[in-house]
Homo-oligomer: A and B are copies of this chain.
Amino acid sequence: MTDSLPPIQTTARDDAVLKALAGFVRQEALGPGEKLPTERILAERLKVSRNTVREALTRWEGLGLVERRQGSGTYLKAAVSPDMLHMPLTLAGGNDFAGLMRTLEIRRALEAEAAALCAIRAGKAEIAEIEHKLDIMEEAFHTRAGMSSEEDWEFHQSVYRASGNPLFEQIISAMHELFHRFWEHPLGVRDFGHASFPYHRTIFDCIAAHDPEGARGEALKLIATVEDDLKRGAANLKLLDRK
Contact = CB atoms under 8 A, between A and B. Distances in A.
A48 interface: no
A117 B105 contact: yes
Contacts of A168: 106
Contact of A165 (B65, B86, B102): B102
A81 interface: yes
A93 B95 CA distance: 32
Contacts of A92: 79, 81, 83-84, 166
B109 A167 contact: no
Interface stretch (A39-47, A51-59, A137-145): A51-59
A239 to B, nearest CB: 24
The copy count of this chain in the complex is 2
A66 to B, nearest CB: 11
A195 interface: no
Contacts of A87: 88-91, 174-175, 178
A191 B117 CA distance: 29
A78 B92 CA distance: 11
A84 B91 contact: yes
A170 B171 CA distance: 13
A83 B65 CA distance: 23
Contacts of A21: none
Nearest to A112: B109
A27 to B, nearest CB: 17
Nearest to A96: B83
A94 interface: yes
A108 interface: yes
B178 A106 contact: no
The 9 closest A-B pairs by CB, nearest first: A109-B113, A88-B88, A87-B89, A87-B174, A59-B62, A85-B94, A109-B109, A62-B62, A63-B88
Interface of A: 4, 14, 51, 54-55, 58-59, 61-65, 78-81, 83-95, 102-103, 105-106, 108-110, 112-113, 117, 165-168, 170-171, 174-175, 178, 182, 184
8 contacts: A51-B51, A64-B88, A86-B90, A88-B89, A89-B171, A89-B174, A102-B165, A102-B167
